[in-house]
Amino acid sequence: MADKSHKILIMSTPVGAIGSGLGGGVELNVLNFAKELQRRGHQIEIVAPQGSVCSLPITEIPGAIQIPAQNQLRVDPVLIPCNSVLANMWDYARQAQANYDVILNFAYDWLPLYLTSFFNCPIAHFISMSSLTDAMDRVIEKVANEFPGSVAVQGKVQADTFTFAEKFVYVRNCVDVSAYQFCSQPSNSLAWIGRIASEKGLEDAVAASQITGISLKIFGLLQDTAYWQQIHQQYPEAPIEYMGFLPTYELQQHLGKCRALLATPRWIDAYPTVALEAMACGVPVIAYRRGGLAEIVEDGNTGFLVEPDRVPGLVEAIHRLDKIDRLACRQRAEDEYSLEAMGDRLEKWFADILSHQSK
């Protein structure tokens, strides 16, 4: 139980409804953070795009979903569609703010950061991606300077993509470990989880599956069908199976039976939740040494780190999987990435913000 319970307004990502998969790992973060904060006695309300599926207190907001930031060019202007759900969400927050002690923002977008100094209620910004555009970098830095301690990132590799890494709070990431069953005896298959989009590098995992002849089970939202078709044309012999975009309970049943998760991002994925989900099932992670994966995977202990974009490295790691103790993967998830551990980091972050505010 928190020493002092707070009222927390949780603003989800505007790129898609919770449960759509468009928000990737952040959808899970919103639900897990909210669940853990509520368990600790805080009063929470989630604000998310219409169509969001969630058993926690939630207000759904209509409007046009936001353009994904990872598709933007560094010099792109800030784009906000007509009848923007992002703008509608933050108009709701403006009206509701008097009932809350702190607003927790998950949107990787210019508007909520720019609005920070217009709000009376303090805003805690959870930055979920690495540096992508100049407009975002500038406004994140502005808020980090004006409201010290109010901007958090997940990991160090992500932070170092910004020129002001020293201004950030670090909260890492988490999964509800109790929702994942440990599996000690896998079948002869590999897993790949993520939005099926080019920045996720699925083709390399498919290539490794074709070379080793080991089946690859693919889980996640089929976001880019052209990219998916292209992979099928490029690797017609690969023994791959698309399992769909599954809810956590079903995902972890299949994931646990896999010998390893292949994590092959082309971009700096801040702190991939899918790697934590695999470890919670006892599944080793074979990952490119890129982004948060380089901080999550302990090479030789909970999986293997491979030179980025080199398929032979993936294949070589697959042949060494017997060296990994699956229980060590589960233990690591319990020790470092539980909701309990995250809850402690969040409460410290909020207390620090509120102590600044009261000065």
Give the interface with ligand HBI as residue ranges (CB under 6 A): 13-15, 23-26, 66-70, 107-109, 128-129
Give min distance, CB of 69 to ligand HBI, in A. 4
The smaller minimum CB distance to ligand HBI, of residues 133 and 252, is found at 133
Q: Are strands 58-61 and 189-193 parallel, antiparallel or unpaired?
A: unpaired
Evaluate whether 286 touches 262 at the Cβ level (below 8 Å). Answer: yes
Distance, in Å, from the CA atom of 168 to the CA atom of 159, rounded to the nearest integer, reads 7
Give min distance, CB of 87 to ligand HBI, in A. 13
Give the residue closest to ligand HBI by C-beta.
24
For residue 213, count other CB atoms closer than 10 A to its CB. 10
**DSSP labels, 136-205:** HHHHHHHHHHHSTT-EEES-HHHHTTSTTGGG-EE------GGGS---SS--SEEEEES--SGGG-HHHH
Give min distance, CB of 66 to ligand HBI, in A. 4
Give min distance, CB of 19 to ligand HBI, in A. 13
Distance, in Å, from the CA atom of 330 to the CA atom of 109, rounded to the nearest integer, reads 34
The smaller minimum CB distance to ligand HBI, of residues 91 and 334, is found at 91
Distance, in Å, from the CA atom of 292 to the CA atom of 158, rounded to the nearest integer, reads 7
The smaller minimum CB distance to ligand HBI, of residues 195 and 332, is found at 195
For the CA atoms of 10, 136, 192, 228, the dihedral, rounded to the nearest 10 degrees, stands at 120
The smaller minimum CB distance to ligand HBI, of residues 24 and 265, is found at 24
Give min distance, CB of 109 to ligand HBI, in A. 5
The smaller minimum CB distance to ligand HBI, of residues 238 and 261, is found at 261
Residue 23 is classified by DSSP as T
Element (H, E) at 243: strand 240-244
The smaller minimum CB distance to ligand HBI, of residues 270 and 317, is found at 270
Query: In sequence order, what are the beta bridge partners of 170?
Result: 153
Give min distance, CB of 129 to ligand HBI, in A. 5
Give min distance, CB of 113 to ligand HBI, in A. 11
The smaller minimum CB distance to ligand HBI, of residues 20 and 252, is found at 20
